[in-house]
Chains A and B, each alone.
Chain A
């Protein structure tokens, strides 16, 4: 029996993985070849999807991108023995793009059958939880703090400190909430982790529960991710059956119950307090802070809210020690970040690497330039609220502080590449337009400011009192930054200001500065 892996990841499915899996089964039956097709997660080499792997005695051999029409030829060439083929890439683990990464949180994604508990345990699953069960909540919080792990959702707050605050908060009922409302364009790491390694998130949620003294957890997943929702729900059912969740976690005295909640198309619900409102069944309106959710969160109870990637990193910290994790990275950005190469790139996908690589190295070595072959003109890092970076800034190291210093942000690690056909005035306008569309409406700088921002950019582009309107736009950006209740209105000026600073020629086209 030969095992053939065809990803079930929704991105792979969007480019034909289901059809390829069906074609392989059909061709195997026609040839009476003993083939078992396993639907794994994606390895994250998205330009090669659907990426088919064949398990050989020497290791897994990769072929891609495979179409259903290629399948008969692959069988004919002997791909079940790992034979050479024009779509072949040799042993998957030795593909330089993959081999040169530091896959810590993504170590199982694309490797295992996502819903197989034996696979999970064979590949190191549960070792972090087993260790956590021997520790006190305080020790767990300390270990996470010592690792230097900072929240991967975008804000970069130390995870261990947050957990300690919840642990120390008075009250018998506490919650753990996972923020899987990954709304930033250019980001898909949370989705791939949930689809490719769902038990990881369950294990991490249980550990968070032990660390902060919570018996209940919720994972808030955006509705745009139906495959992730289905995979997580199936994994939770299995975890209950296996005793990984429920009244006695792994036979211990710890109780932990876990539930999935699905969003409804509101970007703002990725903001933690809006998410809490949504979980409570209300409009996703941002709450004023303080009180911090760690003190008064879900249903008014102390709540630890963590991003999917933060929780995934906690498993690495506990399984391999805080020192191991802290040894990756630079300055105050410790560990690895899961960068997501997206947009107009030749080689898009998941690049998990230690903090500190320069943006230019990322674009050259991993992205391989633009997909169109044209020069890269702008790169937006950190989602719709992140700055656009110009080629002159590509020597910037990917770390929180270095980016913050130039008015940019690493955020959730999304890197969206644009070639020289991009109209940066349109991108600045879109930033304001997006804010106007997605603002919860609670505070005026965001609700009204974004609408005024769109109007101002239109006037500048039309050449109406351009200089005065640019000054007014800068003023508006300052007001939104300082006066908004949350990051939605507070960070929308980041992309707008970056356009004013580095791509202003596009705003003044009517003056003939740029064709």
Chain B
């Protein structure tokens, strides 16, 4: 279960720490589905913030799949992560529409100001930076998503402000 952040600030959702019992509870709370693997992995990630590699055997057992099947799916989809995300999750759109209105500069600014590369989490766990290929906000780019919240017409200064406002301590990330 995730705890909702206060409405006026884009704080990261608080995740439940990984445990086998909690994972089983999440899985068993889902309705029976045909082709259930992706919904199950989504549900685990929503609860824990990531899919712990220890979940592979558990999911395989529960769904009567091989561990290779589960590992294969877990590593195929870019949304699914196997380590906890940072406190602030910044996703920058790299699609062509955003490129045409300054997306490259925004992406470079994100990397240099946060001192992390795309796909990386800062060593202190403060921030995760990700690139996304299109957030469907193509007429009001450049677009970023900070802790799940979409923002359009964002340039360097706007991104700094969004990240500052999302950092729980109020300090720059």
Chain A residues within CB distance 8 Å of chain B: 10-11, 13-15, 46-47, 49, 182-188, 191, 223-226, 259, 261-267, 278-284, 299, 340-345, 348-349, 371-372, 380, 384, 414, 416-419, 422, 427, 430, 434, 437-438
- Report whether A15 and B140 are in contact in the complex, using a CB–CB cutoff of 8 Å: yes
Chain B residues within CB distance 8 Å of chain A: 33-39, 41-42, 63, 69, 72-73, 76-80, 95-101, 132-141, 143, 148, 150-153
Complex-state Cα separation, A325 to B150, whole angstroms: 36
Complex-state Cα separation, A380 to B42, whole angstroms: 34
CB distance from B9 to the nearest CB of A (A): 13
Residues of B within 8 A of A419 (CB): 100
Complex-state Cα separation, A281 to B133, whole angstroms: 22
- Report whether A282 and B37 are in contact in the complex, using a CB–CB cutoff of 8 Å: yes
Q: Which residue of A lies closest to B134 (CB)?
A: A185
* Contacts A261-B38, A262-B42, A265-B77; A15 near B95 (Cβ below 8 A): no
Residues of A within 8 A of B134 (CB): 183-187, 224
- Report whether A188 and B77 are in contact in the complex, using a CB–CB cutoff of 8 Å: no
> Which 10 interchain pairs have the tightest Cβ spacing?
A185-B95, A348-B139, A281-B37, A264-B77, A342-B138, A343-B100, A46-B139, A265-B79, A14-B152, A265-B78
Q: A343-B99, A427-B99 are in contact. List 16 more A-B contacts (CB 8 A).
A: A10-B136, A11-B136, A15-B152, A15-B153, A184-B134, A188-B138, A262-B38, A263-B77, A264-B42, A266-B77, A282-B37, A282-B73, A348-B139, A422-B100, A434-B133, A437-B133
- Report whether B97 and A281 are in contact in the complex, using a CB–CB cutoff of 8 Å: no
Residues of A within 8 A of B150 (CB): 10-11, 13-14
Residues of B within 8 A of A47 (CB): 139-140
- Report whether B151 and A430 are in contact in the complex, using a CB–CB cutoff of 8 Å: no
Complex-state Cα separation, A191 to B137, whole angstroms: 10
Partner of A343, one of B33, B77, B101: B101
Complex-state Cα separation, A264 to B39, whole angstroms: 10
Q: Could you count the A-B residue pairs with CB atoms below 8 Å apart for me: how many are there?
A: 148
Which of A225, A265, A284 has the most CB atoms of chain B within a 10 A radius of its CB? A265
Q: Which residue of A lies closest to B100 (CB)?
A: A343
Complex-state Cα separation, A207 to B16, whole angstroms: 42
- Report whether A284 and B77 are in contact in the complex, using a CB–CB cutoff of 8 Å: yes
Residues of A within 8 A of B140 (CB): 11, 14-15, 46-47, 49, 348
CB distance from A371 to the nearest CB of B (A): 7
28 A-B contact pairs sorted by A residue (CB < 8 Å): A10-B137, A11-B139, A15-B140, A15-B152, A183-B133, A185-B134, A186-B95, A186-B97, A187-B136, A224-B134, A224-B136, A264-B80, A265-B80, A278-B38, A281-B35, A282-B35, A283-B76, A299-B35, A342-B97, A343-B138, A344-B101, A348-B138, A372-B101, A380-B96, A416-B97, A416-B100, A418-B100, A437-B133
Residues of B within 8 A of A259 (CB): 33
Residues of B within 8 A of A223 (CB): 42, 79
Q: Which residue of B lies closest to A414 (CB)?
A: B138
Residues of B within 8 A of A342 (CB): 97, 138-139, 141
- Report whether B152 and A371 are in contact in the complex, using a CB–CB cutoff of 8 Å: no
Q: Which residue of B lies closest to A227 (CB)?
A: B150
Residues of A within 8 A of B78 (CB): 264-266
- Report whether B100 and A438 are in contact in the complex, using a CB–CB cutoff of 8 Å: no
Complex-state Cα separation, A197 to B34, whole angstroms: 28
Partner of B97, one of A185, A422, A427, A434: A185
- Report whether B97 and A226 are in contact in the complex, using a CB–CB cutoff of 8 Å: no
Residues of B within 8 A of A14 (CB): 137, 140, 143, 150-152
Complex-state Cα separation, A419 to B101, whole angstroms: 9
CB distance from A98 to the nearest CB of B (A): 15
Residues of B within 8 A of A345 (CB): 139
Residues of A within 8 A of B148 (CB): 226
CB distance from B78 to the nearest CB of A (A): 4
- Report whether A283 and B72 are in contact in the complex, using a CB–CB cutoff of 8 Å: yes
Which of B95, B132, B139 has the most CB atoms of chain A within a 10 A radius of its CB? B139
* Contacts A14-B151, A282-B37, A344-B100; A186 near B138 (Cβ below 8 A): yes
Partner of A264, one of B79, B98, B132: B79
CB distance from B21 to the nearest CB of A (A): 24
Partner of B96, one of A186, A299, A341: A186
CB distance from A496 to the nearest CB of B (A): 13
- Report whether B76 and A266 are in contact in the complex, using a CB–CB cutoff of 8 Å: yes
Residues of B within 8 A of A262 (CB): 38-39, 42
Q: Which residue of B lies closest to A299 (CB)?
A: B34
Residues of A within 8 A of B143 (CB): 14
Residues of B within 8 A of A182 (CB): 136
Complex-state Cα separation, A372 to B101, whole angstroms: 8
Q: Which residue of B lies closest to A431 (CB)?
A: B96
- Report whether A279 and B35 are in contact in the complex, using a CB–CB cutoff of 8 Å: yes
- Report whether A191 and B77 are in contact in the complex, using a CB–CB cutoff of 8 Å: no
- Report whether A11 and B137 are in contact in the complex, using a CB–CB cutoff of 8 Å: yes
Residues of B within 8 A of A427 (CB): 96, 99
Residues of B within 8 A of A282 (CB): 35, 37, 69, 72-73
Q: Which residue of B lies closest to A371 (CB)?
A: B101
Q: Which residue of B lies closest to A282 (CB)?
A: B73
Residues of A within 8 A of B133 (CB): 183, 185, 267, 384, 434, 437-438
Residues of B within 8 A of A281 (CB): 35-38, 63, 73
Complex-state Cα separation, A343 to B100, whole angstroms: 5
Complex-state Cα separation, A207 to B50, whole angstroms: 39
- Report whether A416 and B35 are in contact in the complex, using a CB–CB cutoff of 8 Å: no
Complex-state Cα separation, A86 to B109, whole angstroms: 35
CB distance from A37 to the nearest CB of B (A): 16
Which of A47, A49, A264, A422 has the most CB atoms of chain B within a 10 A radius of its CB? A264
Residues of B within 8 A of A185 (CB): 95-98, 133-134, 138
CB distance from A348 to the nearest CB of B (A): 3
Complex-state Cα separation, A506 to B138, whole angstroms: 25
